[in-house]
Every structure is written in C-alpha cells, then in structure tokens.
A and B are shown apart, each in its own frame.
Chain A
Amino acid sequence: MSDHAPVTPSTPKTSSAPLLEVENLQKHFKQYSQTLIKRAAPPVKAVDGISFALEAGQTLGLVGESGCGKSTAGRTMLRLIEPTGGAIRFNGEDVTKFGTSQLRRMRREMQMVFQDPIGSLNPRHPVGSIIGAPFRIQGVKPPKGVRSEVQSIMERVGLNPEHYNRYPHEFSGGQRQRIGIARAIALQPQLIVCDEPVSALDVSIQAQVVNLLEDLQEEYKIAYVFIAHDLSVVRHISDRVAVMYLGKMMELTDRDVLYATPMHPYTQALMSAVPVPDPDRAEARERIMLSGDLPSPNDPPPGCVFHTRCPKYREQLSDNQREECRTTIPLLEEKQPGHFAACHFAEVRVDSAVTVAAPVAPVAEPQAGGAAGPAEGSGPSLTKS
C-alpha cells in the first residue's frame, strides 16, 4: 500500500549469464507543484521495478497500452535516460555504474531504432552521412573505407546504394525506417532496442520491415527488445513477451505460452480486444471489456494498479479477495514453470484465448512468392532460450 513498498520480482534464472539482464529497473520522473513556489510533488513512476533477462540472438517483446512506460523502459535500458534505481547487466557488467568513456564503448553494442522515421533522421544530412555516423563517432575504420561499408549496409537493408547522397525526405516511410535500421546495425551491435519500429507503416510495408528485422537477427545474431502495442506483430517476432501496465510488469513468459494461456486478467483483456480479420470469428468471440481509461501515472491506484479496470475484480472476486487487490501490491511471481504473472488470482481462462486452440497447418502457398515455412504449433511448447 505504501509508496515505497519493496518490489522484488524474481528474475528467470538461466545457467549462463544472459546478454542483457534487467533487475528491478526504475525510472521516476521528478515533478513539481504548479504553484507560485516550486515544491517537489510525488514523482511519476514511469517504470517501477521491471526485471527480465534476454539471451543473445533472442527477441523480447514489450507490450502495453500507451502510457504504460514501455518506451521509457527501452530508453532507460540504453541509459538514454538515467535510471532511478535497479541494475542493467549487459554481458555481466552493470551498465548503470559505467562512466562516460565506458558508456560510449558499450554503445557500440547497444543500438536503437525509433518509431518515427522522420523525426529520428536529420533532414539536413544525406543518408550516407546518417548511416556512416556510428563509424565517425566510434572511430571505427572499416577496411574498405566508410563509404563502401555504408553502401553495402544500404544494400543489405534493401536500399539502393546509389541513393547514398539523397536526403531523408526523398524516401518513402518504409524506406526511411530501413535507413534507421541500417544506422542501428552499422557497427553490428549485439542488442537493438526497437521502439515501435513498424507502427507508423502500412500493413504491406510493415511485413517487409518485420521480415528484414528477422533476417538481420539471423545473420548477425542480434538480440532485440521489441517495443510495440500491436499484439499480433509482437507474437510474430518475439521469443519471450512481457506485458506492462502503469510502469509495472504484469506478465512475462515465452511467446507461445503467453498467447495460448495468458494468466493475468489484463493480458486476457488485451488479447480479447484485438480485432480479428475474420467476420465469423468476430461475431462469435466473447470480448472481455475493460471499463474506462488507463489511470493517470501521477496518481496510480493503491494495491494492484490494475484493480480499477480489472474484469475479474469486478465480476468474480469476493469482498475479501477484493480487499487484497486494493491493499497489497502483487509481485511478479512464477505461477507456473517459466510463466511469471503479477496477480493475486492469476489463472488461465479458457474462453479468453483468441489464438487458435489446436495447431493446424495452413495451406502453403507457392504462388505469391512467399516461402511459407512449416507452421509452428501455438500450443505451450516451452522452447526456453
């Protein structure tokens, strides 16, 4: 109930040290009262104790509604924003304790792709200079020179190398996002934080960029933290998925487990709200409606932050149980092996699953040129990284 309740969710333990290990990461933004005399007001807890581990070459999806702190979390991981508390271990070293020169060296291995491809590219620099910037800043001299290296990267991400001297405004939205990706992979980093990289793109272009990200991951063994609000894109690209709500992690588990058997009422509601492009199924589906909007992070509800909108709290719980939701902050606990949820009454709810229950192999399509690979079962196959 108190503002400073200890939040110590356990981290999934793995045998060797993971590439990125985030423990109890916090980012609180200071606030001041809007009166004549400036006084400190309670801070906004944009990120309030999130923990996860990410292996090399794997993807962690970070989903949640706008304002849940997922972008702040992504930026804090790279120390683009200074964390308030917690530890970020990258290859076993605590990044939060790094000085400037160490941080600069580390940035070679950690890059970012931003949501808005116009806002994140300098309009007065030609593409070649934008993609070549990491080489200049890090003082890396590729054997054949920066220009030829940049051109080969451009080719790799599907841009015409002859467009080296063009400016960002001369490219379409999808191509601009490719420029952002080219810049991120220029130094072959081990980790890229992708902050809604495909949200601004049309569906057909979105698929191109998602495929590109997957190809690059395979080729260079890059790990992604993939921040998005689109649950279907996250399911496609992620190995593990973390669901966030008001700065806290609500659920964390393997992708297939999460989508087949979500345990947190918030995840269940989120999934049932995704519109499905199938008129029959849309009719038949039972939607779990959330009432109201996201509460203000200025003044989060006491106890479980989700209880004000929780359908389970509203419909199924007894008064005693509700009391617990209102007073005790639920910790992120391992409810089932490898399946973490922050809810006192987490359980699998059969009617909420929108994904197919039984894996059925889709018809392969030789025509449209896409190599539709064998379908992967969406059952709970625990392919732990």
Chain B
Amino acid sequence: MPSNIEVVDEPADHGFLDVRDLKVHFPTEDGLVKAVDGVTFTVEQGKTLAIVGESGSGKSVTMQAVMGLHRGTRARMTGEVWLDGVELLGASDSVVRKKRGADMAMIFQDPLSALHPYYSIGNQIGEAYLVHNKASRKQARARTIEMLDRVGIPNAKRRVDQYPHEFSGGMRQRAMIAMALINNPKLLIADEPTTALDVTVQAQILELMKDLQRDFQAAIVMITHDLGVVADIADDMMVMYGGKGVETGTSSEVFFQASHPYTWGLLNSMPRLDRVRAQRLDPIPGTPPSLINLPSGCSFHPRCAFVEKVGHDGRCKNELPELYPVSAAHEARCFLVDQNQLEALRNQTVEEPA
C-alpha cells in the first residue's frame, strides 16, 4: 500500500538532520495509533541528540521513520525529514535506499536478533560495504577486518569468520557498530544500544561511540530511557511523551533547568547513586497513555500534579499546549512555562544536586 506522503520542496535553511512536524500514524482494527504526533528537532554534524522517553512514547518509531523503515507499510507519515539538504519522506525508494546504510545507519537494541544467525559476522558486515561501494569481496573483507579492529574486537582476523552466537553480548553490539560505520555514515541512529548490556560493558560501548564520533564527525541520535546514559553522551536532548516532544534543549539545560512536570517526574523517580539515598522513591502516578485514545489537552495531565496550579478552568484538559520557550534553545510543552509559574514550582520540585 502506498504511504500517504506530503511532498514538500522549499529550499530553506536546514540543519544537518532536520525533522519538522513528523507524524507517523498506524491505522489498526482498534483505531488510529498516533505513535508519533508532531515531532520537530535538528541535529548538527559531530553532535549527539538523545531522545528520552518511556516505552510507547514514540521514540523508536520517530527514528525508524527517519531511516525510512516504515515506507511501503500501512503507516501514514506526514512532515519533513531533511538529511544534508535532501528531503527523505517524499523521496523515491531508490534515493532512500542509496542513503540508508551509506549516509545514515542504525544500531538496534538487541544485536542477537538484528544479526542473522546463518551468516558469519564478516559476511554480514561486508555486505553493507559491497552494496554501497564498487569493491571486490577481498576488499570488503579487508575493510571489515579493519572496522572490527577499530571497534575493539580482539583478533579481528579470526573473529571475522565466526558467527553471531560465538560472540558475547558486548562483542555483538561492537559488530553492529562496525556494520553501521563501515560506510562512514554522516548520521548514526542508535536505538537503545546499551540497554541489553551490563554496566561495565555499557561503559565500554559508550566510550567507543564517543571515540568514533570524534573520528568520523557523525551526527548521532541516541534513543534511550536511561537518563544516566544521556548525561554521559548527549549534547542535546528531547523528552518524548505520548508521541510528542515535551521538552527539548541542551542536555545540561534540561537536566539543571528541567521545565516539564514529566521530566521532573523522570528525574525524581529514579534511585540515584550520585545523591544521598532517598528514604522513598517518588514515582509518577498512573501509567503511560494509550496511543489510540490520547487524553484530551495535554496528554500528561491525568498523571500531572500541577493541573490545579495551571487552573484557568482546567486549561490542561481542554487546550493542547505548544512548545513554549524557556530560554534560547530550550522549550517545554507546558502551560506553566506559558504562565510564568515555572521558576517557583521548579525550585520546590527538583532536588538540588548534592
């Protein structure tokens, strides 16, 4: 089924990766699932954007849409995705196919299911190189060994002929990174690359990604639910809730000047090693919303403690908040920002770092 794509051509000032008002809706038997509902962000080369949110907030679907992984499905996509001056949502399949794997690449959460069990590691990584380059198998193999070496797989010459089941979790993820980077992509999308790994291995992989970014100057979009990982690696961050970005800004702004009650909730609900042990955790009440039947107005209002503070006859229930500027390059989708009530409340809510 052809996807419903709005074709836009307007030459304008674009960021390196520039996503504007992206919507991805899935028609299902139960109704329209608005997985992504108007997401806007930009990432420059050499920078890292982290997309943070709970499961079902639309963070993975957003980036899958950027990669063009929902093309040719029932998904309805609107908006604009510009990569290096080329619009991708409206582009033809062959254009996207040339970009995918060469200019933009993706690392998935579970490397065991993302790697094919039947083919050797070298075969799978080399294939990504052969598809996009005029090279012989021999050259591809040499390049593969070089990449495996680069991502820190010891004894790459021997490991290249092994199969995924012979690799440990951390090694598989390194192999995935080698596969993603073999064509020197300008955009690297990492979908929870360290969630399945132990902390010690996670630290190794994050170091590796930072290291590779310095070398390759790629733009990285990191999807994660772990705020610790964000603090470690991201320059900018976007917090997603119910298919929308609810807070965007540089990561230090969002961490130290958090301006959305959901971000406060996330920061307060996790036990933290860098703080004095709290006697009790402070969870966000309720559960994430259904994407078929989003709450009216602000989709966070049923779980939000500040609906009363906003007031105005239940503005939160009736009116959809926009992204209001908190400072330059920091926006939050909350009426508290709009009504200048933020400062007083934030000081009471977010614990100061010890």
Q: Which residues of A contact B (CB under 8 A)?
A: 65-66, 172-175, 202-208, 210-211, 214, 229, 231-233, 235-236, 255-256, 259, 269-282, 287, 289-290, 292-294, 354-356, 358-363, 365-378
A292 to chain B: closest residue by CB? B154
Residues B175-210 near A (CB distance < 8 A):
198-204, 206-207
Partner of B274, one of A205, A356, A358: A356
State the Cβ distance, A376 to closest chain B Cβ, in Å: 5
Question: Contacts of B133 on A, CB cut-off 8 Å?
Answer: none
Closest 10 CB pairs of A and B: A275-B228, A373-B279, A370-B282, A207-B283, A277-B227, A204-B284, A236-B271, A207-B269, A207-B281, A273-B203
Q: Measured between alpha carbons, how far is A258 from B116 in the docked complex, in Å? A: 42
Contact with A along B111-154 (1 / 0, CB 8 A): 00000000000000000000000000000000000000000001
Residues B208-264 near A (CB distance < 8 A):
225-232, 251-252, 255-256, 261, 264
Q: Chain A interface: which of B9-17, B61-69, B84-92, B343-351?
A: B343-351
State the Cβ distance, A358 to closest chain B Cβ, in Å: 8
Contact B228 A214 (CB under 8 A): no
Question: Contacts of B54 on A, CB cut-off 8 Å?
Answer: 202-205
Question: Contacts of B310 on A, CB cut-off 8 Å?
Answer: none
State the Cβ distance, B1 to closest chain A Cβ, in Å: 29
Contact B232 A282 (CB under 8 A): yes
Contact B287 A172 (CB under 8 A): yes
Question: Contacts of B265 on A, CB cut-off 8 Å?
Answer: 204, 368
Contact B198 A65 (CB under 8 A): yes
Contact with A along B268-288 (1 / 0, CB 8 A): 111111111111111111011
Contact B55 A202 (CB under 8 A): yes
Tell me whether B267 is interfacial, beta carbon within 8 Å. yes
Q: A203-B225, A204-B54, A367-B348 are in contact. Are A210 and B281 (CB under 8 A)?
A: yes
Contact B228 A277 (CB under 8 A): yes
Question: Contacts of A360 on B, CB cut-off 8 Å?
Answer: 276, 354
12 CB contacts below 8 A, A to B, read A210-B271, A274-B228, A276-B273, A279-B256, A280-B252, A287-B203, A293-B171, A356-B276, A360-B354, A367-B305, A367-B348, A371-B280
Contact with A along B298-325 (1 / 0, CB 8 A): 0000000110000000000000000000
Contact with A along B91-111 (1 / 0, CB 8 A): 000000000000000000000
Question: Contacts of A207 on B, CB cut-off 8 Å?
Answer: 269-271, 281-284
The A/B interface has a contact count, at CB < 8 Å, of 203
State the Cβ distance, B162 to closest chain A Cβ, in Å: 14
Q: Measured between alpha carbons, how far is A39 from B226 in the docked complex, in Å? A: 46
Contact B274 A231 (CB under 8 A): no
Q: A236-B277, A362-B275, A373-B280 are in contact. Are A279 and B251 (CB under 8 A)?
A: yes
Question: Contacts of B252 on A, CB cut-off 8 Å?
Answer: 279-280
Tell me whether B79 is interfacial, beta carbon within 8 Å. no
Partner of A354, one of B268, B274, B306, B345: B274
Question: Contacts of A172 on B, CB cut-off 8 Å?
Answer: 287
Question: Contacts of B284 on A, CB cut-off 8 Å?
Answer: 204, 207
Question: Contacts of B261 on A, CB cut-off 8 Å?
Answer: 368
Q: Measured between alpha carbons, how far is A69 from B170 in the docked complex, in Å? A: 19
Given contacts A231-B199, A276-B273, A279-B251, 17 further A-B contacts (CB under 8 A): A204-B265, A204-B283, A205-B54, A207-B282, A235-B273, A272-B203, A276-B232, A279-B231, A281-B353, A293-B170, A359-B276, A361-B276, A365-B282, A368-B264, A368-B305, A372-B282, A374-B279
Question: Contacts of B154 on A, CB cut-off 8 Å?
Answer: 292
Question: Contacts of B226 on A, CB cut-off 8 Å?
Answer: 275
State the Cβ distance, B65 to closest chain A Cβ, in Å: 22
Question: Contacts of A277 on B, CB cut-off 8 Å?
Answer: 227-228, 230-231, 255, 267, 270, 272, 274
